[in-house]
Amino acid sequence: MDQNKKRVLIIGGGFAGVNLAKQLAGHTNFEVILADKNNYNFFPPLIYQVATGYLESSNISYPFRKLLRGKDNIQFWMGELQEVFPEQNKVMFSTGEVSYDILVLATGCETNYFGMESVAKHAIPMKTLSDALQMRNTLLERLELASRTQDPAERKKLLTVVVAGGGPTGVEISGMFAEMKKHIIAKDYPELSGSGGEIYLVDGLPAVLTPMSEKSQQYTYNALLKMGVKVKLNMMVKDFVDDQVHFANGETITTKNLIWAAGVTAMVFKGVPAEAYGKGKRLQVDAFNLIQGTDNIYALGDTCIQLTDSNFPQGHPQLAQVAMQQADNLGKNLVRISKSEPKKPFAYHDRGSMAIIGRNKAVADLPKPKMFFSGFIAWLMWLFIHLISLINSRNQIKTLYNWMVAYFTRDQSLRMIVRPGANKELIVPPVSNKPVI
């Protein structure tokens, strides 16, 4: 390695990690290593459409190595983070050791089950691409089983779906299930007509889409009810045992299918000082995203909490836009540091929020000027923003095609149960005491 270059190790290839790598691409002062446990980037806002068979996994994912082609100062390293050694400026991965001058943690967050072991064991998560494929297989298999069983009570359990979490993911997947029940399942499984399976959206708070405006909340609530979704608010899940979802108020819902979209938590990294963690296990960072108590370790996006922005004194929301803007700011600051120029503190520019509910139904809140959109216009806005946010034109074209087919036919043809054999363990070379690179 050129001694005049700074090695920047970015762990996590999501919104923040990829955007930071792009910021530093071509800068001769930096050697960048982008590390991730997967060999692909994926677009989390659309994983529920993979889970319900409206999109292929390749529509929303892309290999890192192909993404980084032509960027001579950027390498890719596949491996899972095991431990950070701040004093030695190195990181241990499942696949070896990597040294760094600057470390950036952009690992996002993971599903939070709030300590409920039975929920963690039996519920269906909605966080990763693997989760989405597993969910698609599981629900399709349960539909097939429901079509064969002669027991009406068992059939109803198999067909009833409880979605826990009234945020955008919970709302979007509930609406998708409602449309599938009416337009797809009724045609594909005529033998299930009148079986009584219901779709529930439950949340412990008094409204759906709580971060959004009251108008968005009310429109979404009414739209879901009209679509046949049973919305139960102020209902906190306490357990999921023996095919029953138990709530804090004593109520229960009988089902085989609890889809968990109720919360996330940041991850704890071995070697990072315990005092650096704040609310929700998020790493506390200063105005420049430097982790508290360190001098060359940064954190971005969902994995950090930043209390220095006067407009967000309790920390920023865990949104893609925050991660991307923080990455852009950090990238520019690293370049400024290399040129001995003053750094600029991060300030989040809220560009609004939106959620899709179903066909021609969505809500959107814009902060400046303060505006609210709903229905078909908001639906078009949602489609456009999510389409242009996909990582390249290949994914955009494939996704647009699938959406057009689904819109005009009210159907899709990706309902295949595909279960590959058990993955062989990643071959890991012996790790010496010296960094691999």
**pLDDT tens digit sequence for 245-268:** 999 999 999 999 999 999 889 999
Q: What span, in angstroms and rounded, lies between the C-alpha atoms of 373 and 365?
A: 7
From the list 426, 376, 390, 334, the residue with the least C-alpha distance to 23 is 334
**pLDDT tens digit sequence for 8-51:** 999 999 999 999 999 999 999 999 999 999 999 999 999 999 99
Q: Give the amino acid at 272.
A: V
| Set 56, 172, 275, 341: catalytic member | 172
Task: Give start and end residues of each alpha helix (H) in 123-227.
Answer: 129-148, 152-159, 168-180, 186-188, 214-226
In this prediction the pTM is 0.90
Q: What span, in angstroms and rounded, lies between the C-alpha atoms of 235 and 244?
A: 14
From the list 153, 193, 163, the residue with the least C-alpha distance to 257 is 163
Q: What is the mean pLDDT of residues 210-230?
A: 96
**What letter does residue 112 receive in the DSSP assignment?**
-
Please determine whether the domains at 6-37+79-111+265-338 and 117-262+352-409 fall in the same fold group of CATH. Answer: yes
117 counts as catalytic: no
Q: What span, in angstroms and rounded, lies between the C-alpha atoms of 403 and 132?
A: 18
Task: Compute and round to an integer the Cα radius of gyration of the chain.
Answer: 23
Confidence (pLDDT) at 432: 47
From the list 248, 246, 244, the residue with the least C-alpha distance to 205 is 248
C-beta separation of 41 from 15 below 8 A:
no
Confidence (pLDDT) at 64: 96
Confidence (pLDDT) at 421: 60
C-beta separation of 359 from 50 below 8 A:
no
pLDDT at 430 over 70: no
Confidence (pLDDT) at 413: 73
C-beta separation of 352 from 366 below 8 A:
yes
Q: What is the mean pLDDT of residues 296-308?
A: 96
**What letter does residue 212 receive in the DSSP assignment?**
S
* CATH classification for the domain delimited by 117-262+352-409, as one of 2.60.40.10, 1.10.10.10, 3.40.630.30, 3.50.50.100: 3.50.50.100
pLDDT at 416 over 90: no
Q: What residue spans define the domains of the chain?
A: 6-37+79-111+265-338, 117-262+352-409
Confidence (pLDDT) at 412: 78
pLDDT at 1 over 90: no
Q: What is the mean pLDDT of residues 143-171?
A: 95
When mean pLDDT is compared across 48-62, 138-152, 274-288, 401-415, the lowest value belongs to 401-415
From the list 311, 314, 269, 328, the residue with the least C-alpha distance to 294 is 269
Confidence of residue 433 (pLDDT cuts 50, 70, 90): very low
* CATH classification for the domain delimited by 6-37+79-111+265-338, as one of 3.40.50.150, 3.40.50.740, 3.90.1150.10, 3.50.50.60: 3.50.50.60
Confidence (pLDDT) at 170: 95
**pLDDT tens digit sequence for 353-375:** 999 999 999 999 998 888 999 99
Percent with pLDDT over 90 in the chain: 84
Tokens 């005009």 locate to: 408
**Cα distances (angstroms) measured from residue 237 to each of 45, 250, 323:** 24, 10, 30
Confidence of residue 335 (pLDDT cuts 50, 70, 90): very high
**pLDDT tens digit sequence for 123-155:** 999 899 999 999 999 999 999 999 999 999 999
Confidence (pLDDT) at 418: 79
